[in-house]
């Protein structure tokens, strides 16, 4: 994976390591939550729906002896749309370029065909890539469940290192970082100490709005939601207020009605929730102006996908 321009920042101690890590796993195995916990800041949105992550997100972890760049990717899956096919290609390119891959499985769910399918496909894409096992969500599992899952994942990965952890209560996160670091090559810092992500401002804004829009949704609708930031401008009448104008795209008129909700109540909740997240991101007061537009079958239309950055 390409390092950022201007890499090798300052002097590092002997034996300093740096490199790229990616997490794989079925939907809702806690990959994005784990990424946020390790980085120490929310850089990846989380939701209960599969395929929430839609593009690789780099998060930078600064340790005394290492700099670890975690690349949070869309989940490898059996695609149903052109968008799904394009996301899979992005994922495969990412997996081929990192230094180590962590296979994530929840402590409270037995290994199944989906886990095996993912491991098989990762090995096809990057046959020489080191894999480690990560048993997530230990805070909601019994000791017996955790032990059984560690053994099962150890076997699935042909004896690879396995680490149990919980992003929610920070259990074993330092141990996981030590294990990941051991797989990285010696090298320089790629990013300054204060750097946490490569994500540009508008991308982070659109993702936080999409996270708010996904809240409480079920079935197929979440896959049909996309967000585009129109403009971000200082409010002409209110000092220290940013006006964020964005568009939420869906594929059918019925989906627009669902997002609006009865008497526009759901839309009001989306605006309120996203505004709170954007205030935290921007560090100042924010006014959020959202519109919903129908973009017919955008997930399978090449022109629409290009417009939305896929």
- Reported confidence tier of residue 95, pLDDT bands at 50, 70, 90: confident
pLDDT the model gives residue 76: 66
Asked whether residue 300 is marked as a ligand-binding residue, the answer is no
Asked whether residue 307 is marked as a ligand-binding residue, the answer is no
Asked whether residue 197 is marked as a ligand-binding residue, the answer is no
Beta carbons of 308 and 228 less than 8 angstroms apart: yes
Instruction: Write out pLDDT tens, residues 66-92.
Output: 999 998 776 666 667 777 777 777 777
Asked whether residue 138 is marked as a ligand-binding residue, the answer is yes
- Residue 38 belongs to a domain with what CATH number? 3.40.50.300
What span, in angstroms and rounded, lies between the C-alpha atoms of 71 and 37? 13
Q: Which residues lie closer than 8 Å to 47 by C-beta, 6 or more apart?
A: 211, 214, 215, 222
Q: Is residue 92 part of a domain?
A: yes
What angle in degrees, to the nearest 10, is found between the helix axes of 201-214 and 265-282?
150
Asked whether residue 137 is marked as a ligand-binding residue, the answer is yes
Instruction: Write out pLDDT tens, residues 165-178.
Output: 999 999 999 999 99
- Residue 269 belongs to a domain with what CATH number? 3.30.300.20
Asked whether residue 219 is marked as a ligand-binding residue, the answer is no
Do 158 and 254 share a domain, yes or no? no
Asked whether residue 25 is marked as a ligand-binding residue, the answer is yes
Mean pLDDT of 105-121: 93
Asked whether residue 168 is marked as a ligand-binding residue, the answer is no
Do 96 and 30 share a domain, yes or no? yes
Asked whether residue 32 is marked as a ligand-binding residue, the answer is yes
Asked whether residue 136 is marked as a ligand-binding residue, the answer is yes
Three-state SS at 284:
coil
What span, in angstroms and rounded, lies between the C-alpha atoms of 75 and 104? 11
Three-state SS at 298:
helix
Task: Give the percent of the chain with pLDDT over 90.
Answer: 63
What span, in angstroms and rounded, lies between the C-alpha atoms of 192 and 189? 7
Instruction: Write out pLDDT tens, residues 265-282.
Output: 999 999 999 999 999 999
Q: Which residues lie closer than 8 Å to 206 by C-beta, 6 or more apart?
A: 227, 228, 229, 246
Do 240 and 273 share a domain, yes or no? yes
Q: Is the pLDDT of residue 133 over 90?
A: yes
Rounding to the nearest 10 degrees, give the CA dihedral for residues 206, 210, 212, 214.
180
Asked whether residue 30 is marked as a ligand-binding residue, the answer is yes
Domain count, the chain: 2
Do 171 and 67 share a domain, yes or no? yes
Tell which wins on pLDDT, 95 or 238. 238
Q: What average pLDDT does the structure give for the chain?
A: 88
**Residue range(s) defining the domain that contains residue 163:** 17-183
pLDDT the model gives residue 5: 47
Tell which wins on pLDDT, 67 or 124. 67
Q: Which residues lie closer than 8 Å to 205 by C-beta, 6 or more apart?
A: 229, 232, 244, 246, 278, 281
Of 183, 212, 245, the residue at which a domain comes to its end is 183
DSSP state of 94: H
Asked whether residue 53 is marked as a ligand-binding residue, the answer is no
Q: Is residue 123 part of a domain?
A: yes
Do 122 and 226 share a domain, yes or no? no
Of 151, 183, 215, the residue at which a domain comes to its end is 183
Q: Is the pLDDT of residue 49 over 90?
A: no
- Global pTM reads 0.79
Do 33 and 59 share a domain, yes or no? yes
Asked whether residue 182 is marked as a ligand-binding residue, the answer is no
């Amino acid at each position: 994976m390409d390092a950022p321009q201007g890499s090798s920042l300052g002097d590092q101690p002997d034996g300093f390591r740096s490199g790229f890590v990616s997490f794989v796993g079925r939907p809702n195995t806690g990959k994005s939550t784990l990424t946020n916990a390790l980085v120490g800041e929310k850089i990846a949105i989380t939701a209960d729906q599969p395929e929430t992550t839609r593009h690789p997100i780099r998060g930078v972890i600064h340790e005394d002896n290492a700099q670890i760049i975690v690349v949070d990717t869309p989940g490898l899956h059996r695609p149903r749309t052109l968008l799904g096919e394009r996301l899979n290609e992005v994922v495969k390119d990412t997996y081929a370029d990192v230094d180590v891959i962590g296979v994530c499985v929840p402590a409270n769910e037995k290994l199944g065909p989906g886990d095996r399918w993912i491991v098989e496909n990762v090995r096809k894409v990057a046959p020489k890539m080191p894999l480690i096992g990560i048993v997530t969500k230990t805070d909601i599992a019994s000791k017996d469940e955790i032990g059984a899952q560690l053994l099962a994942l150890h076997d699935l990965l042909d004896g690879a290192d396995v680490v149990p952890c919980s992003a929610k209560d920070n259990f074993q996160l330092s141990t996981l970082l030590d294990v990941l670091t051991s797989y990285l090559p010696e090298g320089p810092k790629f990013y300054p100490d204060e750097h946490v992500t490569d994500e540009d401002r508008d991308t982070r804004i659109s993702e936080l709005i999409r996270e708010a829009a996904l809240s409480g949704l079920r079935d197929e609708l979440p896959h049909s939601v996309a967000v585009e930031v129109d403009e971000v401008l200082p409010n002409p009448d209110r000092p220290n207020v940013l006006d964020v104008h964005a568009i939420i795209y869906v594929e059918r008129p019925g989906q627009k009605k669902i997002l609006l909700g009865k008497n526009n109540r759901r839309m009001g909740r989306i605006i309120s929730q996203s505004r709170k997240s954007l205030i935290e991101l921007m560090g100042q007061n924010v006014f959020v102006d959202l519109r919903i537009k129908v973009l017919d079958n955008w997930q399978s239309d090449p022109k629409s996908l290009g417009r939305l950055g896929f």
